[in-house]
Amino acid sequence: MTQPPIARYKQVAADLRAAITRGDYQPGQRIPASSELAERYDLTMPSVNKAIRLLATEGLVDIAHGSGTTVRERRPVISVSASYVTKHGDEARAQWSTEVNRHGMAGSQQIRQVDTVTPSAEVSGYLALDDDAHVVVRRRLLYADSNPVQLADSYYPAAIAAETELAESGRMPGGTVAALERLGYVLTRFDERVEARMPTHEEVGLMRLQPGTPVLRHLRVTYAAGDVPVEFSEAVMNAERHALAYQLPAEV
Amino acid sequence: MTQPPIARYKQVAADLRAAITRGDYQPGQRIPASSELAERYDLTMPSVNKAIRLLATEGLVDIAHGSGTTVRERRPVISVSASYVTKHGDEARAQWSTEVNRHGMAGSQQIRQVDTVTPSAEVSGYLALDDDAHVVVRRRLLYADSNPVQLADSYYPAAIAAETELAESGRMPGGTVAALERLGYVLTRFDERVEARMPTHEEVGLMRLQPGTPVLRHLRVTYAAGDVPVEFSEAVMNAERHALAYQLPAEV
DNA sequence: GAGTGGTCTAGACCACGCC
DNA sequence: GCGTGGTCTAGACCACTCA
């Protein structure tokens, strides 16, 4: 109730945050209208708005223009597992539809781009390419039940993928891992890296991300016999809909 | 330049975002003062402020009250690797100071709590405990060069850890993994899970997180011979300062 | 159409950081 | 002290949603 030390809209935000955390407002339930909150706290609407927007950027509420503001619901999480470590059958490989089916949803994908391009420095570095080398890029948008939830881009050295099915804009039976094996590459190891960040403006649009939703960024370099990098892939996922799972043996 | 269709402050945000992405304003560099932007775009300061706050929640800029607003710099990233998979010597285990040193920083930790408590349902579930079982919890705050960057909480079934060094509030020589082995447990596998989300208000305070900074959440269940869960750990990390690395053999 | 959130102004005053 | 961002009001008008 201090006046200047702490902004009043922050007090309102704190009150609402506590109420939500306490469970006074359940997920999916509406919080009071801004006009009502304005009256209750003796503030003007723009100030109350500020409080509510703050909670939205914290991922606590969803603001829907003409309808009200609701406590954000935890949507089903797709647990993507590094299954290629333990199993090896074709159907055990990390296939999008398989992963999504396991969670009772329908997986689908839209191939956004298949092209031969000059790689960025990052891609070039991960694939250990010469400066003048080109890559085949495959960009996909993955859906769970008609919701776009993941951007998956894969890169292959042109020396490996040009003129192969990897450079064609069709689906890959068995996934790209199978395609690489059909080309005679024996995969030996995967180097993975997981990061998180706020989405770019473009990613917000493509995956229809709400404010206050971060993305998981999953990078992977696939090596074939002789320690040759044959694929670099980057997946950017709606972090509210994804988790990554690893089963690691303690071993040796 | 359309008036009502797109909010003017969003236009300003878009302009600045493009300028930053283009590199017109370099990381660490100041963007024009709100007063100047207000004049340039013929808007009032509160509106310009809204644009700048939007960029802050996107993680693009840092707002410093009395000084200006600067383009956010990428801080050094601590790459935490699941090294226990491939190596096994004591010094190869995932030790905080070792990880941080590798990136040219000094690692330290503050032990926040060591206690025997009734576990949450989540912890109880991961450790496969009975309803009335207790756990020893160890809560730490990890620092990189005096910056608090990670919260690391570990839980052990009281049946395993009570009356042992794990229940004492001192440091563990060789880490808790070594402590478990000293207790006679042979570790067999790790189940890990990686998620990302916006930080709670408490986490913002403890790790001094800027607006627009998500956290990585890393969960791990450690199993000993007989598939007995002996440790559950939860690490919440400043996502701007961390990446998780995995080296996975293709195998079998 | 009633109700909800969104945007904006004009002007005021406050608070922080740095020189 | 100057310049920077922060907060707030009073009032206005707009835009979206749902009945």
Tens of pLDDT, residue by residue, chain B (252 residues): 334 568 899 999 999 999 999 999 999 999 999 999 999 999 999 999 999 999 999 999 999 998 999 999 988 888 888 755 444 444 545 588 888 998 999 999 999 999 999 999 999 999 999 999 999 999 999 999 989 999 999 999 999 998 888 888 877 777 788 888 889 999 999 999 999 999 999 999 999 999 999 999 999 999 999 999 999 999 999 999 999 999 888 865
B 29-88 residues inside an 8 A Cβ radius of A: 57-59, 77, 79, 82, 84-85, 88
A 182-221 residues inside an 8 A Cβ radius of B: 187-198, 201, 211-216
> Does the pLDDT at position A251 exceed 90?
no
Q: Mean pLDDT, chain A, as a whole number? A: 89
Contacts of B50 (CB under 8 A, 6+ apart): B9
Distance from CA(A3) to C1'(D7), angstroms, rounded: 11
Mutate to test the interface with B, among A122, A191, A194, A222 (most CBs of B within 10 A): A194
Structure-token pair, residue B79: 């790459």
A150-195 pLDDT tens trace? 999 999 999 999 888 888 887 777 778 888 888 999 999 999 999 9
Structure-token pair, residue B159: 């049946």
Say which nucleotide is closest to residue B51, CA to C1' distance.
C7
Structure-token pair, residue A163: 């003129």
Residue closest to A197 by CA, chosen among B249, B219, B57, B4? B57
> Does the pLDDT at position A35 exceed 80?
yes
**Predicted local confidence at residue B50, as pLDDT:** 95
pTM confidence score: 0.91
**Predicted local confidence at residue A178, as pLDDT:** 81
Q: Which chain B residue has its CA at the smallest distance from A246's CA?
A: B192
Rounded CA gap, A163 and A159, in Å? Answer: 9
**Predicted local confidence at residue A84, as pLDDT:** 54
Rounded CA gap, B252 and A47, in Å? Answer: 61
Contacts of B188 in chain A (CB under 8 A): 249-250
H helix or E strand, kind and range, residue A77? none
**Out of A191, A201, A247, whose CB is closest to B191?**
A247
A74-131 pLDDT tens trace? 888 888 887 554 444 445 455 888 889 989 999 999 999 999 999 999 999 999 999 9
Rounded CA gap, B25 and B19, in Å? Answer: 6
The owner of tokens 């703050």 is A54
| Contact across the interface for A239 and B189, Cβ inside 8 Å | no
Rounded CA gap, B248 and A92, in Å? Answer: 16
